[in-house]
Structure 1
Amino acid sequence: MTKGDPAHPANYGRVCSKGAALGETLALDRRLLHPVVNGARASWDEALDLVATRFRTAIETHGPESVAFYGSGQLLTEDYYVANKLMKGFIGAANIDTNSRLCMASSVAGHVRAFGEDIVPGCYEDLDEADLVVLVGSNAAWCHPILFRRLTDARTRRGTRLVAIDPRRSATAADCDLFLPLRPGTDVLLFNGLLAHLARVGALDTAYIERSTAGFTAALAAARDDAPDIGTVARGCGLDPAQIDAFYAAFAATRRVVTVYSQGVNQSSQGTDKVNAIINCHLATGRIGGPGMGPFSFTGQPNAMGGREVGGLANQLAAHAGFADADDLARVRDFWCAPRLAERPGLKAIDLFAALGEGRIRALWVMGTNPAVSLPDGGRVRAALAACDFLVVSDCVVGTDTARHADVLLPAAAWGEKAGTVTNSERRISRQRAFMPLPGEARPDWWMLTEVARRLGHGDAFPYKTPADIFREHAALSGFRTGRRLFDISGLAALSDAAYEALDPVQWPVPAGQKDGTARLFTQGRFPTADGRARLIPVRQAAPANAPSLGAPLVLNTGRLRDQWHTMTRTGDVPRLRMQAPEAFVAVHPTDAAAAGLRAGALAEVTSAWGRAVARVSIGDDVATGQIFMPMHWTDEAMPGGSPGRVANPACDPISGQPELKHTPVRLAPVALGWEGLLLSRRRLRPEAIEHWSRTPIEGGHAYRLAGAGSAQDDLDRVLALLGDRSGRAELRDARRGVFRCSTTDETGRLLDCLMMGAPGTLPDPGWLLATFASDAPLEAGTRRNLLTARGGVPAPATGDIVCSCFGIGADAILDAVRAGSRTTAELGKVLKCGTNCGSCLPELRQLLALQPGIQTREQPCPSLS
C-alpha cells in the first residue's frame, strides 16, 4: 500500500483509496513504451520529424489556427508551460485548451469577475478553523476524502457544522448536519435568496461593502428580484422552507463560514453565475481573507491550478495575463521575444472539437487525456477524432478510446517517473520527484514539446535541458512587469538546480526577495482590480440550457466514484478499486424505475438528443424522482456504451465555456435481452462481436459480463470464439433450458477460462467461482465438475458490497463486527482496519451503524444548525 508523506502540509500523510493503490498501477503490461506511427513501431526521430512536418504543413497551408493542443490537468506545470509557450508564443494561435475546461473554468471566470484575477483566497487551515462549512455541488467525502476528513475531524474537535447542498444524497450529504436536496440547476436562486435574507436580517458588513467592494446595490437588487422571500426560493429550488430557513439562519449568525464548491457548481451552463452568487454572499458579509472563512473552490484535478498559472486555457496568457489587456500582451511578447504571439483567445474545448469535426482544425495533439470519453456529445467527438487529418496522442498507456484514432502515439512518462511541480487548490506548489526510471523509450511531455519546437525552427526559445530550466523561466515571467497582479513567484526564479530539487511546498504569491509563501489573500480587503475593490456581480436564476421536455422527462447528473479516476485508464485495472462498482450503472429512484419497467441489476438504455448509453440499473432513493445519476468513468475499453459522455448535454456556460455535465434531458427504457453470460479469463479480451459486454479486473485475470438480445444458442458460436481453440475444454449444454457452461485448463490442470450462459437473471452467484479462479493451483476433478454444475464445493465467505477499498472490507463483515459489539467507526477500525487509512469509507460506515437499533452515529455531540 502506498503511503503519503506525513510532513507534507496538504495531507500530512493521508492518501485516498486511489492514492493508496498507486503502487498497483505501475505494471508495464499496458504501457506505451515506444513511439508508434500509423500502427507500426518507430524511432523518436521518425515520430517527431513527422509531427513537426505535419504541423508545419498545416500552418503554412491553412494558417496557425488550423492546429491545436488539448492538454490535461495531470500534466506538470513545466509540461504545461512549454505547450502554452509553443502554441501561443511561436505557432501564433491560442488553440490550446485542456480537460480543466471541464472542471474549473467556471471557477476561473467567477474569480476573475469578482476579484480581478483567478484567485483562491483561502487555505486548507480554514477548513480546520471554520464554524460552518457549506458544501455546494461537492461530494468531498469521495472526491476530496482527505479534505473531508479534516472537516469531520473539526466537527469532532470543535463542533464545526456541515451543510451539504446537492440534488443527490451523496456520501457527503449523508454525513452532514443539514442536507438541502435542491432542484438541479437552481443554485443561483438559493444564493440570491441568501443574499436577500442577509440584507433583510441586518447581517451585512456595511463597512466592508463600502470600503472594499463595488456593485453591491445592483447585486442585491437582482437577488431581491429573484428571491423576494423564502417561499419563492423554496418553490423554485424544490426545498422545504424550514430547510432553507435553517441554512440561512446559520449562515447569517456565523462569522467563520467557508463555502466549498466543486463540479456541481462549475459544470453548468450557468456555472459562472453560480460561482459569483456564492462569492457575493461572502463579500457582502466581509467573510473573506480571515481565518476560517471565504469561498473555496475545490479543484478537480491534481494540477488544474498549475495549468491555469501558465495560461493552459485557450482564453488565458501565461502568468495570469489576459488577451484583453494590451499591457499583458506586450509583457508576454517582450519576455518571450515572441513577435508572433497570439492576440486573441483560441477555441475552448467544446468549440475546438467542433472545429475538428468541421475540418477547421487539421492537426491536433492530445496530451495525457481521453476526450473521446470525457467530453459531452461523445459520438460527435469520436467522429471528429476519426476524421482528423493528423492526430497525435502522447500518453502512458495504449488502447484508450482516443488513442485508437491516433496517427502518432508518443510514450509519455507516468506519474512515478515525472519530475516537476504541481499546484493544489490552496495555491500550494509542490515538487514532484521521480522515484522510478523511465521505462522503455518513454519521455516527459516537456521534452517532446521542446523537440518539436526545435524542429519547427524555434530552438533558441526552447533551450530547456531540465524541468528546473523551465520552472525558473516560468517564475521569472510571473514577476516581469506584474502591475497589480497577485500571481508572482519570482522569489523562486533564481533557484539553483539543487534548490529546485529540494524545494519545499510553498503557497504563492512568493514575490522577489521572499522565500516563504502566503497562506491567505485579501486579508486587508484589497483586490487586484484597478480600484482595489472586489466586484459583487448581479446574477439571475435561469433555466439550465436544454431543459427537459415531455419527450425526455428525466434529468441526468454525472459525477465521480470514490475509487476511480477520470476515464480510469490506470485505476480501472486495479481489482480492489473496481470492487465498488464493477460495471457502469445508472442510479434511479424506485418510482422512476417502476414507471420505466426497470428492475435492479438489469440493463437500461439512457437516451438523449445527443446519443445513447447502456448501464446496469441501481435502484435507491439517493436520487430524487425525475433525476438519474451515472458515473463518468466508463470507456469502450471497459464497457462499450457505458460512458455518459455519449448522451451528455454539450451546452456551455457562455462566459467560461464549461459544459453542462450535470443537467441532460434523457429517457430511460429497459434493454430487452435473450441471454446473459459470465466469462472469467486469464486474457484481456475485447468481445466486439457480443452485443453487450463489460470487463472487470479480478484476481488472476478478468471477468466479462456478456449479454445479447437473441437466444443463447444463436450467439453461442460468437461467445465460444472468444476462448479460441483450446484442447482442455469441458462443456455442459442444456438446449431446453438455454444453459451452457464450459471451462478450459492448461496441461497442468490450471483453470484458464470459465463460461456460464443462461436466461437473464438465472446466472449463479459467482463468489465461489471467483475464489476458485484466483488460485493458480491445478483443479481437482470435483472442482471441475462444480464449474459445470455451478455448485461450489466450499462456499466462499460472503463479503457484501465493498465499503472499504483500502483493505477490501465488505458490508457483511462490517455488520458481523457490529453484531459482535463494535459501536463506533473507531471500534470497527480496530477490529477490521476499515476507515483507518484514507477515511473515504467513514460516511458509509456511519450509515451502516445508523441502521442498527440503539446505535448513535454521532460519535461526539455537535451543535445543531438551529
Structure 2
Amino acid sequence: MTGRVATTCPYCGVGCGVLARVEADGAVSVAGDPEHGSNFGRLCVKGAALGETVDLEGRLLHPQMRDANGVLHRATWDEALDRVANGFRRIVDQHGPDAVAFYVSGQLLTEDYYVANKLAKGYLGTANIDTNSRLCMSSAVAGHKRAFGEDVVPGCYEDLEQAELVVLVGSNTAWCHPVLFQRIAKVKEGGARLVVIDPRSTATCESADLHLPIKPGTDVWLFNGLLVFLFQHGVMDAEFVDAHTGELNAALAAAAADAGDPAQVARICGVQLGDLLAFYRLFARHERTVSLFSQGVNQSSSGTDKVNSIINCHLLCGRLGKPGMGPFSITGQPNAMGGREVGGLANMLAAHMDLQDATHRDIVQTFWSSPRIASQPGLKAVELFDALLEKRVKAVWIMGTNPVVSLPDADRAKRALQACELVVCSDIIERTDTNAHAHVLLPALGWGEKDGTVTNSERRISRQRPFLPAPGEARADWRIVCDVARRLGFAEGFNFESARDIFVEHARLTLFRNHDASGDVPAARRLLNLGGLGSLSQQAYDALQPVQWPVHEDGTGTHRLFGAGHFAHGDGRARFVATVARSPANAPGREYPLVLNTGRVRDQWHTMTRTGKSPRLAGHISEPFVDMHPRDALHSGVREGELARVHSQWGAMVARVRHSGGILAGNVFVPIHWNDQFASDARVGGLVNPVVDPVSGEPEFKHTPVRVEPFAVRWYGFAFGRRFLPASELSYWTLIRGDRFLRYEIAHRERPKDCSAWARAWLGAQDADADWLEYEDPSTGVYRAAHVVDGRIESCVFLSPRPDLPSRHWLAGLFARQPLEPADREGLLAGEPPGPSVDVGPVVCSCFGVGRNTISEVIRSKGLETAAQVTAATRAGGNCGSCIPELRRLIADAHAASGV
C-alpha cells in the first residue's frame, strides 16, 4: 500500500485523526491528520507510536476452545461459533434470557456495539449487556440525562480555545488528553485563566493559575458552594433560568444546607479560604467558562451528583450552548460516546432511548421487527459479575476488555469467571488475565484492520479505516456477533454484509419517529439524530468525513447544542438537580489509614495490550509504583525506591515506592495499567473499593482505604535478554519491552547460594562457546554477569542488596551494538558506562527519545531558562507537549543547584 489511509486513533476520547501507511519494508508509519477537526495534525506520543504496536506477536489468530481437561486447543470457526450459540441457546431455554450476559468495550466500533445490543435486547430479550465504559463515564451519562433529558455533551473543542476561563476538574489533561491540553495551553498564552481542581499536584497543575488540591470526595461541597456564591452575588442569567430551566429552588436549598458558608466549605475541602474564594470570583467574573471534567469526577460513589453540581453552576449563569462556555465531559475511551449512541449501557436502548419508557421500547422493537424487547434495565458491570459469581448469570460474552484487571475488587471478578458455565472472549490478544478463564476464544480484528466508525467526546463521528490485512483467521466483531445470531435463528435481523449496512441502520433508527406527524420538531425531540447519514452508499460511507451530530439532512453537522434553550425533557426545559454532599462510603481508619487513588500514567493505556509492545512508551515510567507523601512512607516503614505491599480489605498488590511531591499526606496513588502479563503482583483493581454510585453504577476508583507496609526482599536486581526469561518464580518482577531486548526489574526473598550457577541457569547461558563475563563482591553482595555470543550481548543480570542499582539506560544501548567494544565489556563488569557522556538518563520526552541527563546537561551548559529554549535545543516537548511540565522542573532544579 503506497497511499496514506485516513483513520482515527484507538486510544482516548479526543478522537484524533491519523494518517497511516504501510511502507515498502512492511513497517507502519503514522502521522496526525491535519484535516481532522479534533487534532489538526497533532498526536500525543501514544498515537505517534501506533506503528510499533501492530505486529502479530501475542495475537490471537485462530479460534480456540477449552476441552474437558481445561486445555485450550485450536478450533475451526464453525466449531467455536456452534459452541457459543448452542451454549447460549441451552441456557436461555433452561433458565431464561437473563441467565446470559454480554460485557463489551469502548474499544469496539459503533457498528460492533450496535449488533451486540440488537442481539441482546431485541432478540434474546435481555438487557444484561454492559460495557467497561460503565467504569469511566456512566456518571456523566446519568448527570446529562438528569439535567438535559438526554446524554448530550453540549460543546465542542473549539470552546476551549474561545474560553476566558478553563476549569479542569479531576483531570490530568496534560497526560491523559495531551492534544486537548495543547489547545488549552494555546489559549492560556492569549490571556485565558486555568484552574485545576485535583487532590494530586499533577503535570497539569504546572500550567495552572490556581490549583485547588481538594480532599478526595469533596467536589459536591465545592460546587454547591459555588452555586450559592453565584446566586448570592447576582451572577445569574435570570431570563435564561426563568424561560429554560426548572427546579432551581430545590437545588439552591440543598446547596445552601451543605455549603452555604465558604469558610466551612474550605475546611471540608481542605483548601485555603483565599484560594476557594479566588476560584469562585474567577468563575463569577468570566462568562466564557468551560468546566472540563473527567474520571476524578465520574469514578465516585457520588459521581452523578458531582456531575450535576458542575452543570448546575453553568445553568444558573446560562453558560452553555454558546462559544467558549459549557460543562464538558471528556471521555477516556475512543468510542465511549459511540457505545452510548447505540444503547451500550445496561439501562439504555439504542438511539438514546430509555429502556424503561414503553413508547421508546415500542419504537425500537418496531424498527428492528424483533421478536421481543428487554423491558427492564439489565445488570450493571459490578453487579453483573456478582451475578456470575452467584450463578444467577450462567454465560457471559466478553468483547475487547479485560475485567479481571479493570474491575474493582478484581479478584472477585476472577472468581466469578471461574464459577461461570460458559465464558466467551472476543479479543485480539491471546494471553490476558481475563482470557485465562475463557472456554471459547474468538480472534477479532484490531486497529488498522477494522472498518467502521467511532464518536469522540465532542460528538464527532469519524471513520476507522483498515490499512492492514486481517491476520490469521481474525474477523470483525460485528461479523462474529452476526454469525452467532444466525445460528440462534435470527438471520433476518442480522443479514448485514458490511459495516456500512449496520451504520446506515443505526442512523435510520435515530431518525425513526423522531418528529411529530406534521414533520415539525418539538422541543423534546431526541437530539441524537443522524438522519443526514441514513442513506449513505458504500462509496459515501468509505469517504465519510468527520462530522458532529446531530447531522442535518444535507449531511452537515452541529458544533454546539442548547444555544436556543431547548432541551430534551418533555417540557423542553433543563433541570437543576438538588445534589446532597456526602463523604465517600468507606472512610480510612486505624487498619487502613490511607486513601488510595488510581489513574493513568502518561505513556501507557489501559491494560497495556497495545502500548506494552512499544519500546518508546516503556521509557518514561517502566514499573508499577505507589506514590506516597514522605511522612506517610515514614509512618508505614517504607522507603523511596524500595518495594511495598499495598493492602485494602479487598486485596493487595506490590509496587515500588516513589515520592513525586504531588501527593497530599494521607493519600497514595497507584496506576491502573500493570497486570499479570507485565508484573508479578500489580493489579491495583484487586484492591479497589467495589461500592458504586447509586444512580450511575460507576465504582469508587478514587477512594479506597488502604495501608502500606514493607515488602521484604534479600536482593534487588534487573536483567536484560533477547528472549523472555522465566521470572514467575521470583518474589517480584516487572517486564519492560525495549528495542531489541526485554528488560526485567526483579527482586527475591532469598539470595542464591551460588549466584554464578543461578545466573547461568536463569539466563539460559549454558553454551560452552559463548563468553561469560561476571563480577562478584561478597562483602557488598553485588553480583553482575553478562552472556555474550559471537561478540553480541545476549543477556545480563545485575544483583544487589540495595535498590539503587546502576543505570539501565546505557545498558539498553549495548543491545544495538555488534560486536561489543572492549570498553563495553569493561563497563559491564564495572557496572557503569565507560564514558561520561554515554548515559542519556531516564526518558523524559518519549516522542523524540530525549533523556533526563541530556536535557539537564543542555540546560546547565547553555543556561536555558524556558521550556521553549529546551525544545529548540533538544526537540524535547516539540510534539505532544506532555513532557513540558517535566522540562520546567528540570530547569528549576538546574537553577537551584547552581544557586541562581
Distance 1:601 1:851 in 2: 20
**Range with bigger deviation, 673-682 or 230-239:** 673-682
Q: Secondary structure in 2 aligned to 1:713? A: coil
- Matched-pair contact (CA < 8 Å) for 1:363–1:388: yes
In the other structure, the counterpart of 2:121 is: 88
- Residues 1:510 and 2:542 are matched in the alignment: no
In the other structure, the counterpart of 1:644 is: 684
Matches within 5 A, 1:91-240: 91-156=124-189, 158-240=190-272
**Range with bigger deviation, 799-808 or 568-577:** 799-808
Distance 2:696 2:463 in 1: 30
CA deviation profile, 1:345-379 (whole Å, cap 9, x unmatched) = 11111011111111222111111111111111111
1:155 Cα deviation after fit: 1.3
CA deviation profile, 1:199-235 (whole Å, cap 9, x unmatched) = 1111111111111100000100111111121101111
In the other structure, the counterpart of 2:644 is: 604
- Matched-pair contact (CA < 8 Å) for 1:771–1:796: no
Q: Secondary structure in 1 aligned to 2:855? A: helix
Distance 1:782 1:853, change over 3 A: closer
Distance 1:142 1:521 in 2: 28
1:771 Cα deviation after fit: 2.1
2:795 to 748, 753, 771: 753
In the other structure, the counterpart of 1:826 is: 868
**Range with bigger deviation, 56-65 or 123-132:** 56-65
In the other structure, the counterpart of 1:368 is: 400
Distance 2:564 2:742 in 1: 58
Distance 1:196 1:527 in 2: 24
Q: What is the identity, as a one-letter code, of the residue corresponding to 1:8?
A: H
In the other structure, the counterpart of 2:25 is: none
CA deviation profile, 1:46-105 (whole Å, cap 9, x unmatched) = 111111111112211222111111111111000000111011111110111111001110
Q: Secondary structure in 2 aligned to 1:120? A: coil
Q: What is the identity, as a one-letter code, of the residue corresponding to 2:148?
A: F
Q: Secondary structure in 2 aligned to 1:319? A: helix
- Matched-pair contact (CA < 8 Å) for 1:675–1:712: no
- Residues 1:836 and 2:878 are matched in the alignment: yes
Distance 2:492 2:42 in 1: 43
1:834 Cα deviation after fit: 1.5
- Matched-pair contact (CA < 8 Å) for 2:356–2:377: no
Q: What is the identity, as a one-letter code, of the residue corresponding to 1:298?
A: I
Distance 1:717 1:691 in 2: 19
CA deviation profile, 1:261-319 (whole Å, cap 9, x unmatched) = 00000000000000000000000111111111110000110000000000011111100
- Residues 1:290 and 2:332 are matched in the alignment: no
CA deviation profile, 1:675-719 (whole Å, cap 9, x unmatched) = 122221111245211111111112211111121122332898776
Distance 2:832 2:865 in 1: 37
In the other structure, the counterpart of 1:491 is: 532
In the other structure, the counterpart of 2:59 is: 31
Distance 2:804 2:599 in 1: 32
1:36 Cα deviation after fit: 1.5
In the other structure, the counterpart of 1:463 is: 495
CA deviation profile, 1:228-269 (whole Å, cap 9, x unmatched) = 211011110001000011000011111111100000000000
Distance 2:896 2:405 in 1: 46
- Matched-pair contact (CA < 8 Å) for 1:587–1:619: yes
CA deviation profile, 1:488-520 (whole Å, cap 9, x unmatched) = 102211010001111111111114x33101111
Q: Secondary structure in 1 aligned to 2:33? A: coil
Distance 1:724 1:235, change over 3 A: same
In the other structure, the counterpart of 2:456 is: 424
1:619 to 653, 659, 666: 659
In the other structure, the counterpart of 1:565 is: 605
Q: Secondary structure in 2 aligned to 1:183? A: coil
Equivalences, count: 851
In the other structure, the counterpart of 1:475 is: 507
Matches within 5 A, 1:248-647: 248-483=280-515, 484-511=525-552, 513-647=553-687
CA deviation profile, 1:785-837 (whole Å, cap 9, x unmatched) = 65345354345623333221100112222222223143333332222111221
Distance 1:287 1:542, change over 3 A: same
- Matched-pair contact (CA < 8 Å) for 1:768–1:794: no
Distance 1:224 1:762 in 2: 53
Q: Secondary structure in 2 aligned to 1:417? A: coil
- Matched-pair contact (CA < 8 Å) for 2:82–2:487: yes
Distance 1:265 1:810 in 2: 34
TM-score for the superposition, normalised by structure 2: 0.92
Distance 1:134 1:183 in 2: 17
**Range with bigger deviation, 705-714 or 123-132:** 705-714
Distance 1:649 1:228 in 2: 31
- Residues 1:77 and 2:107 are matched in the alignment: no
Distance 2:559 2:625 in 1: 41
- Matched-pair contact (CA < 8 Å) for 2:807–2:841: no
Distance 1:771 1:604, change over 3 A: same
Q: Secondary structure in 2 aligned to 1:2? A: strand
1:736 Cα deviation after fit: 5.9
Q: What is the identity, as a one-letter code, of the residue corresponding to 1:771?
A: G
- Residues 1:48 and 2:81 are matched in the alignment: yes
In the other structure, the counterpart of 1:864 is: none
Distance 2:441 2:781 in 1: 45
Distance 2:616 2:276 in 1: 40
- Matched-pair contact (CA < 8 Å) for 1:768–1:795: no
Q: What is the identity, as a one-letter code, of the residue corresponding to 2:37?
A: P
Q: Secondary structure in 1 aligned to 2:448? A: helix
Distance 2:45 2:683 in 1: 22
Q: What is the identity, as a one-letter code, of the residue corresponding to 1:75?
A: L
1:762 Cα deviation after fit: 5.9
Q: What is the identity, as a one-letter code, of the residue corresponding to 2:655?
A: A
1:57 to 46, 65, 90: 90
1:756 Cα deviation after fit: 2.3
Q: What is the identity, as a one-letter code, of the residue corresponding to 1:818?
A: I
- Matched-pair contact (CA < 8 Å) for 1:689–1:718: no
Superposition CA RMSD, Å: 1.8
1:698 to 738, 742, 745: 738
Distance 1:198 1:389 in 2: 56
In the other structure, the counterpart of 2:519 is: none
Distance 1:742 1:852 in 2: 35
Q: What is the identity, as a one-letter code, of the residue corresponding to 2:887?
A: L
Q: What is the identity, as a one-letter code, of the residue corresponding to 2:574?
A: A
Q: What is the identity, as a one-letter code, of the residue corresponding to 2:474?
A: A
In the other structure, the counterpart of 1:861 is: none
Distance 1:719 1:657 in 2: 50
Distance 1:290 1:46, change over 3 A: same
Q: What is the identity, as a one-letter code, of the residue corresponding to 2:246?
A: A
Distance 1:779 1:851, change over 3 A: closer
2:819 to 778, 781, 787: 778
Q: What is the identity, as a one-letter code, of the residue corresponding to 1:548?
A: P
Distance 2:249 2:195 in 1: 28
Where structure 1 has 5 or more consecutive residues not aligned to the other structure, the ranges are 856-866
Distance 2:181 2:663 in 1: 22
Distance 1:849 1:356 in 2: 53
TM-score for the superposition, normalised by structure 1: 0.96
In the other structure, the counterpart of 2:69 is: none
1:729 Cα deviation after fit: 6.2
Distance 1:90 1:795 in 2: 69
Q: What is the identity, as a one-letter code, of the residue corresponding to 2:483?
A: E
**Range with bigger deviation, 278-287 or 691-700:** 691-700
1:813 to 829, 844, 854: 854
